[in-house]
Amino acid sequence: NAGVTQTPKFQVLKTGQSMTLQCAQDMNHEYMSWYRQDPGMGLRLIHYSVGAGITDQGEVPNGYNVSRSTTEDFPLRLLSAAPSQTSVYFCASSYSQDEQYFGPGTRLTVT
């Protein structure tokens, strides 16, 4: 049981490039979410999903897209990276919408 996995662990992008952060869980959790963590800001919700085919926006969704075609996977897409998206990104999953389990994170730098 791997729990929540994220790839890559580190990524450097140039402004304007696109990329997808991968997130997968093997706990059959319906609820998955993406957060970004910036110094002194805590964790802020980007997008979340309550099940396959259903996604919704969180507090800071601009510049990010998500999809949920399977229960296991919840990728986060940056269509045109900006320096303001430099952050640590955490994916989380939970059986309900409370006890969330976090992945190891992806540290993204946009130059």
Partner 1 sequence: GENVEQHPSTLSVQEGDSAVIKCTYSDSASNYFPWYKQELGKRPQLIIDIRSNVGEKKDQRIAVTLNKTAKHFSLHITETQPEDSAVYFCAATYSGGGADGLTFGKGTHLIIQP
Residues that bind partner 1 (CB under 8 A): 33, 35, 40-45, 48, 56, 58-59, 90, 96-105
User: Least Å distance between CB 44 and partner 1?
Assistant: 7
- Which lies closer to partner 1 via its Cβ, residue 75 or residue 105? 105
DSSP 103: -
User: Least Å distance between CB 17 and partner 1?
Assistant: 25
- Which lies closer to partner 1 via its Cβ, residue 15 or residue 57? 57
- Which lies closer to partner 1 via its Cβ, residue 35 or residue 64? 35
The verdict on whether omega for the bond into residue 83 sits within 30 degrees of 0, i.e. cis, is no
- 74, 64 contact by CB (below 8 A): no
- 9, 88 contact by CB (below 8 A): no
CA distance 67 to 73: 9
User: Least Å distance between CB 101 and partner 1?
Assistant: 8
